[in-house]
Amino acid sequence: MRLEGTLDAFSLPDIFQLLSYTKKTGTLHLRRDGDHGVVHLRDGLVTGGRGDVSCQALGRRMVGSGLVSDEDLAEAVELVLDNPSAGLGKTLLGQGSLSEDDATRVATEQATDAVFELLRWEAGEFAFVVDEADPDDVGAKLAVEEVVAEGRRRLETWQTLLDKVPSVDAPVSMTAAPDGDATLSREEWTLLSFVDGRRTVRDLVTLSGNGEYVVVSALAALAQRGLVQVVERTDGVDPLLQRQQLLATLEGREVPKAAAPSKPARRPAAEAPQPVIPDRPEPFSSERQPDFAEQPVPAMARFAAQPSPAPMTATVSTSMSASVGSVEGAHALKPDTAPAVAPAPAHSGLIDRDPSVNKSLLLRLIAGVRGL
């Protein structure tokens, strides 16, 4: 027989009441988003439970309470590895590592914590498997009505505890000066032995083997008495070590810094693209203008106006009547098919009419230029 459904159609207290009224024996499985919890029943009574089936909850609680020695634990682990169907808690009881009264008391506390954790589920699926045995059945028997009533009472006070313990991921540290004389119970002393300033509330739950409600309520009571601090620190620096570092600066020595939580390396920001047009363009100089206008060279002007020249042959000019400024001379190249150019008008008439010109000197200069 299998009883299946969803928690939005049947609440967990109603399912417990049905199983208790019909005196069922088996295991109730609850699942949500990868989480898997179980509650074991025999003849309608709760014998055990786990909020996480992957955890040896009862064995962890026995070890965390200091009831089991290291030698007994190592021997029990070897036995469970040889027989995986046996639970660690039942194996420890079977080898005589603890008394039946201690085993029953611890199993009762574990089942109560498990039911409370499962009552906090607002959604999920359930399935009851008939005659599925409890691997950690050590003799605990709890009435369903009592377990559900205790779970509901814890739910009513849970929010008040969260005001003093804001998060299960917050680190727990001991205060340097408690308020008044500190008197601790055995359970509180055991819990404080796990506090080192870095471990979180979740770590203390795992190390002690107790449920979240037991650990959070104990830490809330210790915080109210000024014995511990449960504060989320974003910088990851221990306040006590920070005070020691401030004092060390006056003493001229160094104190090792607390390791802050590693942060993912930032990716380098992409370089901004360069603008196509700069904001301030480079200055430029205007083209240099000559101080005096230059007359075009007659020969260059002639060649610029002519079409592509034909093959050229070297000739030596013997005429001394070429115009001044011409490229014709002893080393000039002139196309064979070039049309005859009329000689420029002689300058001797101008020279003769200007009395301020040294005619003989000017004629020698002209002759020298033609011979270049």
Position 327 pLDDT exceeds 90: no
Q: Which of 101, 135, 155 is the last residue of a domain?
A: 155
Sorted by sequence, the CB contacts under 8 Å of residue 132 that are 6+ apart come out as: 26, 27, 40
The reply to whether 53 and 129 lie within a common domain is yes
Distances (CA, A) of 93 to 16, 38, 50, 348: 28, 21, 18, 143
Provide the percentage of residues in the chain whose pLDDT is more than 90.
34
In this prediction, residues 254-264 reach a mean pLDDT of 50
Position 275 pLDDT exceeds 60: no
Answer whether residue 329 is part of any domain.
no
Confidence of residue 333 (pLDDT cuts 50, 70, 90): very low
pLDDT value, residue 229: 86
295 against 43, higher pLDDT: 43
How many Cα neighbours within 13 Å face the side chain of 144? 23
Q: Which of 230, 251, 279 is the last residue of a domain?
A: 230
In this prediction, residues 8-35 reach a mean pLDDT of 92
Query: Using one digit for the tens of pLDDT, what is the confidence trace for 309-321?
Result: 554 444 444 444 4
Amino acid 176 reads A
Q: Containing domain of residue 224, as a range?
A: 165-230
Range among 193-202, 295-304, 314-323 rated most confident:
193-202
The total of structural domains in the chain comes to 2
Position 297 pLDDT exceeds 50: no
Sorted by sequence, the CB contacts under 8 Å of residue 92 that are 6+ apart come out as: 59, 62, 68, 72, 73, 76, 98, 103
In this prediction, residues 71-79 reach a mean pLDDT of 92
328 phi, psi to nearest 5 deg: -75, 140
The reply to whether 115 and 170 lie within a common domain is no
Instruction: State how far the Cα of 180 lies from the Cα of 109, in Å rounded to an integer.
Output: 31
Answer whether residue 101 is part of any domain.
yes
Position 10 pLDDT exceeds 70: yes
Confidence of residue 328 (pLDDT cuts 50, 70, 90): very low
Answer whether residue 64 is part of any domain.
yes
Does the pTM of the predicted model rise above 0.75?
no
The reply to whether 180 and 48 lie within a common domain is no
pLDDT value, residue 315: 43
Confidence of residue 256 (pLDDT cuts 50, 70, 90): low
The reply to whether 30 and 144 lie within a common domain is yes
Instruction: State how far the Cα of 329 lies from the Cα of 321, in Å rounded to an integer.
Output: 11
The reply to whether 24 and 139 lie within a common domain is yes
Position 300 pLDDT exceeds 90: no
